[in-house]
């Protein structure tokens, strides 16, 4: 930093330390809750993933065998790639829809933004399974799309591939994720003062330059949170692939469910889950890093 | 004061602006000269900020046109005008450093280093925040933000700098200091400043000329002395400084003056200066409190004041002491009159109930024209 201003006085440093202690004390209940209900179960999960599955029992010794199984199996690798790719695609599409929507309700209709935002919240809490079944009726063989196309004479036979495949999974996933993406982006856009946008215009920016140089950098943290929300929710989902994906597009979540429900191989399921968590964290961190580089 | 050229920087020609059915600006005709410090003064909602925003391009006039150095900019977008604005709440880019903020406009104009750095540094020196260029915009005090906002606008060398109540968020002491500095920066750079404020003292102190607005209408344009000394109507007179207004019964018109004879043999007079006053009619007359001399009744001999001075007796009903000044409120035959005395060595030491004589020079009072706008 230029100017080389002196360090704060020792009294200031001491006061800052005191404030830090107070902050930690205030955080204790939340930290305890977090440790007990999140970190604890996660550690149990990781522990189970190292156990050995023998005669329908989980026993020691601890080993990396389950992980070796996960990494080397062709089946599992396909599942992981499909999960990651379709989730990435869904998350990106959800943000591509949520960003302009939020931009419009924030900056184009500022007077109406609260009620429009409320509508999005209603969609978010509007019954997850109900919406999945709604998509079944829309995309199915006798569904709205096939029905309309046949009535119009565009097709003679219903297109079976619409339902029960990656297309149906992504469409319904995006529908499920858009409200999740709107939430953090909306919060971030609320913090962009309309005056800052005017200042940028006044200093010579076109509308596009305002978005690129001012709004996007200011909203970026919100977009990254939206990406994390969407990607995590999609990668961990198993209901949408199970109900709309048909036999050829299950996610890793369906395999985890199968290992727990059908074969009772909890250690293998735990290894898959842990691998998934690690993968998701790495991808989210990577995306955040790249985005921060690109949008300065 | 102003630059030697009297070229026109800005012209409003018959500009009207509506927000729904509310008319914010009514038939605005105004010329602002190159290099002058021009203030738009008025109460909130008077249309001054809307006029400024039409200059900046944030609002578009519904009719009429706005010329900037002779070219029509009525419908030009904000980024296509050679003007820059200092906003009321500064509106610095929070994700950028001081340097990034000030360099923003130059970078858009493809100005590259070393010229970029040189011009940014030079402007930071002008507004006296050099050394802070690495600081984040969020880490600045209000006064520093103000200076950076000023530099961010001025570095682009705008034809006109627009300032929208830029000092209103600062505390009194800093505001006074910035008023002086702004004025000196304006003199130093010679840039035309259009300054919007509701603070009459600020406008009087800083401006070469002032335009006073009320209810969307421009009431008067003039130098601070003209505005204060000879306000165009009752609203202007009252808005700029405090004022005593009273009805004067015209007993006699002589030598361009209307005179009212009082019961105690004294008289009150006002110079007509072109106003018409028929004998036996009543006219509205105003006088600034600081133009009135207050003398204790016993001490007030026939020698008080110049020949032709107005004199009226009264009783002190209130004494407001504010350090350098004291304002006396005095009940007289003309009604309640406020008179202000500097608390220098000659100041009378009066208390409530004292009998006094008020006097003022022949040219101190003026005829108050009726209000131009209703209300």
A6 domain-assigned: no
Q: How far apart are CA B375 and CA B372, in angstroms?
A: 9
CA distance B148 to B103: 11
A152: pLDDT strictly greater than 60: yes
Whether A245 is in a domain gets the answer: yes
Q: Does a cis peptide bond (omega within 30 degrees of 0) precede residue A61?
A: yes
DSSP symbols for A8-52 = PPHHHHHHHHHHHHHHHHHHHHHHHHHIIIIIHHHHHHHHHHTSE
Q: Which of A204, A214, A217 to mutate to test the interface with B (most CBs of B within 10 A)?
A: A204
Query: B227-256 in b/e burial notation, b at 16+ Cβ within 10 A?
Result: bbbebbbbbbbebbbebbebebebeeeeee
**Spatial CB neighbours of A103, under 8 Å, sequence gap ≥ 6:** A189, A215
For residue A200, what pLDDT is reported?
95
Could you list the beta-strand ranges (E) of B48-112.
63-68, 71-72, 83-86
Is residue A8's pLDDT more than 70? no
DSSP for residue B364: T
* Residue B25, phi then psi, degrees to nearest 5: -130, 130
What percentage of chain B carries pLDDT values higher than 90? 57
Q: Tell whether A207 is covered by a domain.
A: yes
The shortest C-alpha distance from B132 to chain A (Å) reads: 7
Full domain range(s) for residue A84: 74-294
Closest CA to B68 of B54, B87, B47, B49: B54
**Number of alpha carbons in the 13 Å side-chain half-sphere of residue B150:** 28
User: How confident is the model at residue A57, as a pLDDT?
Assistant: 76
Q: Does B77 touch chain A (CB under 8 A)?
A: yes
Residue B138, chain A, CB below 8 Å: the answer is no
Selected residue with higher pLDDT from A172 and A14: A172
User: What pLDDT does residue A292 have?
Assistant: 82
pLDDT of residue B300: 59
Tokens of B294: 């207050």
pLDDT greater at residue A149 or residue B203: B203
CA A169 from centroid of its chain's CA atoms? 15
What's the CATH code of the domain at A207? Answer: 1.10.3720.10
In degrees and rounded to multiples of 5, residue B327 shows phi and psi of -105, 125
Q: What is the pLDDT of residue B47?
A: 92
Check: CB of residue A251 under 8 Å from CB of residue A228. no
Quick check: A201 and B57 CB within 8 A? yes
The rounded distance, in Å, linking the Cα atoms of A120 and B230 is 60
Euclidean distance between CA atoms A220 and B241, whole angstroms: 50
Q: What is the pLDDT along chain B (375 residues), one digit of tens a residue?
A: 444 457 899 999 999 999 999 999 999 999 999 999 999 999 998 999 999 999 999 999 999 999 999 899 999 999 999 999 999 999 999 999 999 999 999 999 999 989 999 999 999 998 888 889 899 988 999 889 999 999 999 999 999 999 999 998 888 888 899 999 999 999 999 999 999 999 999 999 999 999 999 999 999 999 999 999 888 888 898 899 888 888 888 888 888 888 888 887 788 888 888 777 788 888 889 999 999 989 887 765 555 555 678 889 999 999 998 888 899 999 998 999 999 988 887 777 888 989 999 999 878 888 888 776 554
Are A201 and B104 in contact (CB < 8 Å)?
no
Residue A1 has a pLDDT of: 38
Nearest CB to B87: which of A1, A199, A204? A199
The alpha carbon of residue B295 and the mean position of all alpha carbons in its chain are separated, in whole angstroms, by 32
Question: Which phi-psi region, left, alpha or beta, contains residue B165 (left: φ > 0; alpha: ψ -120 to 50)?
Answer: left
Q: Provide the token pair at A9.
A: 């006085």
Q: For residues B342 and B132, what is the distance between their CA atoms, to the nearest angstrom?
A: 43
* DSSP alpha helix (H) spans, chain A: 10-34, 40-49, 65-72, 74-103, 113-124, 128-139, 144-151, 166-190, 194-202, 207-210, 216-235, 239-244, 252-261, 266-294
- Checking if the pLDDT of A6 tops 60, the result is no
Beta bridge partners of B86: B163
Q: Other CB atoms closer than 10 Å to residue A165's CB: what's the count? A: 17
Question: In chain B, what are the domain boundaries?
Answer: 8-234, 244-367
Q: Which residues contact B160 (CB under 8 A, 6 or more apart)?
A: B9, B10, B32, B55, B68, B82, B83, B191, B192, B193, B194
Query: What CA–CA distance (Å, rounded) separates A123 from A12?
Result: 49
| Cα B350 from Cα B353, distance rounded (Å) | 9
What pLDDT band is residue A61 in, cutting at 50, 70 and 90?
confident
Chain B positions in Cβ-Cβ contact with residue A213 (cut-off 8 Å): 104
Residue B304: which of B369, B359, B241, B230 has the closest Cα?
A: B359
Task: For residues B107 and A8, give the distance between their C-alpha atoms in angstroms, rounded to a whole number.
Answer: 35
Question: Could you tell me how many CB contacts below 8 A there are between chain A and chain B?
Answer: 70
Mutate to test the interface with A, among B95, B138, B141, B164 (most CBs of A within 10 A): B95
Neighboring chain A residues of B105 at a CB cutoff of 8 Å: 203-204
Interface of A with B (CB under 8 A): 1-3, 193, 195-196, 198-206, 209, 213-214, 217-218
CA distance A242 to A164: 9
**B134 closest CB neighbour out of A2, A195, A204:** A2
Residue with tokens 């006061």: A15
Read off the DSSP letter of residue B371. Answer: P
Helix (H) or strand (E) run with residue A249 in it: none
Q: Which of A269, A275, A185, A166 is nearest to A225 (CA)?
A: A185
CA of B107: how far to CAs of A200, A203, B125, B206, in Å?
12, 10, 19, 32
- Whether B332 has its CB under 8 Å from any CB of chain A: the answer is no
Q: Is A202 in Cβ contact with B108 (below 8 Å)?
A: no
DSSP B247-258: EEE-SEEETTEE
Instruction: Spell out the CATH class of B244-367.
Output: mainly beta
Report the candidate in A69, A41, A38 with the shortest Cα–Cα distance to residue A271: A69
Structure tokens at A235: 């990668």
- Residue predicted with more confidence, A284 or B304: A284
Q: Which residue of A has its CA nearest to B80?
A: A204
Q: Which residues contact A290 (CB under 8 A, 6 or more apart)?
A: none
* Cβ density class A52-77: b for 16+ within 10 Å, e for less: ebeeeebeeeeeebbbebbeeeeebe
Fold of domain B8-234: Rossmann fold (3.40.50)
Residue A119 distance to chain B (closest CA, Å): 28
Best probe of the A interface among B79, B102, B148, B154, by most A CBs < 10 A, is: B79
* Range in A12-21, A95-104, B137-146, B259-268 with the lowest mean pLDDT: A12-21
Q: How many domains does chain A have?
A: 1
Give the bridge partners for B10, in sequence order: B32, B68
DSSP A160-182: GGGSSSHHHHHHHHHHHHHHHHH
Take residue B100 and report the two structure tokens written for it: 């990034």
Contact call for B85 and A199, based on CB within 8 A? yes
Closest residue on chain B to A207 (Cα): B79
Measured in whole angstroms, the distance separating CA B294 from the mean position of its chain's CA atoms is: 28
Closest partner residue to A201 (CB to CB) among B79, B89, B131 is: B79
Rounded distance, CA B47 to CA B42, Å? 8
Give the other-Cβ count within 10 Å of B147's Cβ. 24
How far is B59 from B24, CA to CA, in rounded Å? 11
Pair B350, B316: CB distance under 8 Å:
yes
Least confident range from A123-127, A273-277, B168-172: namely A123-127
């Amino acid at each position: 930093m230029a100017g080389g201003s002196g360090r704060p006085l020792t009294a200031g440093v001491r006061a800052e330390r005191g404030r830090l202690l107070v902050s930690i004390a205030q955080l204790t209940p939340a930290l305890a809750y977090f440790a007990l209900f999140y970190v604890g179960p996660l550690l149990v999960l990781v522990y189970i993933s190292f156990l050995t599955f023998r005669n329908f029992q989980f026993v020691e010794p601890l080993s990396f065998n389950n992980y070796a199984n996960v990494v080397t199996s062709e089946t599992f690798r396909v599942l992981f790639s499909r999960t990651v790719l379709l989730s990435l695609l869904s998350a990106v599409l959800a943000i591509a829809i949520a960003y302009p929507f939020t931009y419009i309700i924030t900056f184009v209709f500022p007077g109406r933004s609260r009620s429009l935002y409320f509508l999005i919240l209603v969609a978010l809490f509007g019954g997850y399974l109900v919406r999945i079944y709604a998509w079944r009726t829309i995309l199915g063989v006798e569904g709205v799309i096939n029905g309309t196309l046949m009535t119009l004479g565009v097709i003679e036979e219903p297109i079976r591939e619409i339902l029960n495949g990656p297309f149906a999974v992504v469409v319904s996933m995006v529908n499920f994720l858009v409200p999740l993406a709107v939430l953090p982006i909306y919060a971030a856009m609320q913090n962009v003062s309309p005056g800052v946008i005017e200042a940028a215009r006044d200093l010579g920016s076109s509308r596009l330059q305002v978005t690129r140089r001012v709004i996007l950098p200011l909203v970026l943290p919100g977009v990254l949170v939206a990406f994390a929300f969407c990607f995590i929710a999609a990668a961990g989902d198993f209901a949408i692939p199970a109900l709309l994906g048909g036999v050829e597009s299950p996610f890793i979540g369906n395999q985890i469910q199968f290992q727990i429900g059908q074969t009772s191989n909890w250690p293998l399921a735990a290894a898959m889950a842990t691998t998934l968590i690690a993968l998701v964290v790495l991808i989210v961190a990577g995306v955040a890093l790249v985005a921060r580089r690109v949008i300065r | 004061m102003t630059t030697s050229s009297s070229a026109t920087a800005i012209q409003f020609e018959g500009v009207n602006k509506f927000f729904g059915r509310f008319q914010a600006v009514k038939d605005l005709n105004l010329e602002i000269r190159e290099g002058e410090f021009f203030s738009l003064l008025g109460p909130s909602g008077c249309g001054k900020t809307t006029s400024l925003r039409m200059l900046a391009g944030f609002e578009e006039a519904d009719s009429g046109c706005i010329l900037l150095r002779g070219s029509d900019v009525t419908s030009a977008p904000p980024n296509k005008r050679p003007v820059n604005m200092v906003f009321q709440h500064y509106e610095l880019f929070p994700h950028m450093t001081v340097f990034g903020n000030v360099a923003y406009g130059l970078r858009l104009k493809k100005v590259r280093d070393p010229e970029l750095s040189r011009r940014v540094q030079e402007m930071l020196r002008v507004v006296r925040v050099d050394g802070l260029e690495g600081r984040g915009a969020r880490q600045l005090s209000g006064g520093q933000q103000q200076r950076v906002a000023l530099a961010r606008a001025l570095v682009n060398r705008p034809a006109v700098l627009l300032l929208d109540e830029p000092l209103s968020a600062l505390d009194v002491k800093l505001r006074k200091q910035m008023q002086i500095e702004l004025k000196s920066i304006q003199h130093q750079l010679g840039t035309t400043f259009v300054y919007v404020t509701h603070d009459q003292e600020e406008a009087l102190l800083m401006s070469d000329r002032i335009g006073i607005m009320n209810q969307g209408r421009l009431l008067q344009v003039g130098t601070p002395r003209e505005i204060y000394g000879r306000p165009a109507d009752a609203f202007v007179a009252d808005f700029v400084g405090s004022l005593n207004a009273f009805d004067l019964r015209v007993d006699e018109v002589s030598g361009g003056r209307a005179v009212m004879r009082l019961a105690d043999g004294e008289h009150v007079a006002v110079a007509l200066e072109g106003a018409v006053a028929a004998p036996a009619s009543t006219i509205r007359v105003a006088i600034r409190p600081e133009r009135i001399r207050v003398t204790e009744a016993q001490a007030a001999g026939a020698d008080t004041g110049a020949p032709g001075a107005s004199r009226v007796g009264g009783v002190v009903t209130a004494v407001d002491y504010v350090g350098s000044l004291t304002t006396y409120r005095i009940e007289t035959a003309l009604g309640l009159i406020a008179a202000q005395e500097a608390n220098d060595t000659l100041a009378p030491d009066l208390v409530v109930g004292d009998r006094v004589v008020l006097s003022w020079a022949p040219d101190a009072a003026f005829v108050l024209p009726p209000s131009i706008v209703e209300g």
